[in-house]
Amino acid sequence: MFFSLSLLLMFGVSLVLTNFVRRHALATALLDIPNQRSSHTIPTPRGGGLAFVSVFLMATLGLFFNHYLSLPITAALMGGGILVAVVGYCDDRQPISARKRFVVQFIAAVWVLSWLGGFPVLDFGSVQIVAPMLGAVLALIAIIWSINLYNFMDGIDGLAASQGVFLSVVAAIFFYAIGDVALALLSATLAAAIGGFLYWNWPPAKIFMGDVGSGFLGFVFIVMAIDACNKHEVSLLLCLILFSLFLYDATLTLIYRLIKKQKYYEAHREHAYQHGVDAGWSHTKMTLAYLVINMLLVLPISYIFYTKQSVSFWLWGSLSIILLSLWFAARCSTSLKDRREYQTLENS
C-alpha cells in the first residue's frame, strides 16, 4: 500500500512538474519549430523529459538510501543518467554537434560498464557464450545505440512516452517474477514518472520530451537490461524482443540511410511510424498501433520465449520477419498514397 501511494505521488509530481517545464519553455521560447521533416504543424514546447528525469533520479536515490538498490546500479544510473540528460537538455536549448554528444555518451557507457562489471556472458536462451571482452564491446555499442535509438523514435505525439510506460510496466512485472525486487521497484517508478509526462504529451501534444527525455529513457532501459542479464542470466534475446518495435524500426532505417549514403545523424522522415503518418494515420492511431502490436505480438512472444527458451531462435526469427514485413509495408504505404494522389491530379 505504501509503495502504491508512492507511485501515485511520483505520477502527480511528474504531472505538475511537466506543466511547470512547459510554462517555462513557453516563457523562454524553448520551442520545437515545425519544418519539412517535422510531424507537427505548430510550435510546441520541448524539454519536457526534464520532469520525469528529475522524478526518476530522485526516486532512485530514495530507493538506494532505503536499502532497496545496491551501490553499483545506483551509481551507474545516477552518474551515466545525469551525463546523458544534461547533454540532451543542452542540445534541446542549443544544438550540439553529433561528435560532442557521442563523446559524452561514450563516457556514460564506460561509466556504466565499470560499475556493473562489464558484460561477460552473452546469453541467447539456448546458447551461452562466455566472452568478457566481446561482451564489453557489444554492451558499449548497445548503450550508445539505445540512447540514440530512442531519440530517433521520438518523432510523433505520445509514441516514445507510451512505449516507455509499456516497457517499464512489463519490466516491473518480469523483474518481480524473477525475484529482483529492486529492479521491479525501479521499473514501476519509471512508469509512474513517464505516466505524468504522457498526460501532456498525448496527441495533440502540449509538450515534447526532447533529447533530455528520449536519450535518458534509452539509457535507463539498456542499463537495467545489462544489470538483469549479469545478475540473473536473463537472455539477451528476451531484452531484444521486448524492445523490438523501436529496435527494428530505428536499426532498419539507419541501415537504409547508410546504404543511400545519407547523413544518419540528421533529422529525417524515413522511420516506419513517420511513413504511417504521411500515409494518413493520425498520431493517435499510430501510437495506439504500436501499443496494440506490443500487446498482441511482442508480449506473447516474450512470454513464450521466457517459458520455453529451447525455441528461442525460432521465436526471434519469426518476430524479425514479421517486423521486417511491417517496416516495408509502412514504407510502401506512402508510395501508394503518392501514386493515388498523382493519378487523382492527372484525372482532374
Of the candidates 326, 47, 27, the one whose C-alpha atom is nearest the C-alpha of residue 210 is 47
From the number of C-beta atoms within 10 Å of its C-beta (0-12, 13-18, 19+), residue 35 rates as exposed
Calpha distance 44→152 (Å, rounded):
18
Catalogue the E-assigned strands of the chain. Answer: 31-32, 44-45, 121-123, 128-130
DSSP string covering 94-117, please?
Answer: S---HHHHHHHHHHHHHHHHHHHT
Q: What per-residue confidence (pLDDT) applies to 335?
A: 53
Q: What per-residue confidence (pLDDT) applies to 323?
A: 82
Which CA distances in Å does 231 have to 44, 224, 235?
42, 11, 11
**Residue 342: pLDDT over 60:** no
Q: Which amino acid is at 325?
A: S
pLDDT in tens, 64-109: 999 999 999 999 999 999 999 999 999 999 999 999 999 999 999 9
316 compared with 155, residue with greater pLDDT: 155
Segment of 127-131, 168-172, 176-180, 232-236 carrying the highest mean pLDDT: 168-172
Calpha distance 36→26 (Å, rounded):
22
Q: Domain locations in the chain?
A: 2-347
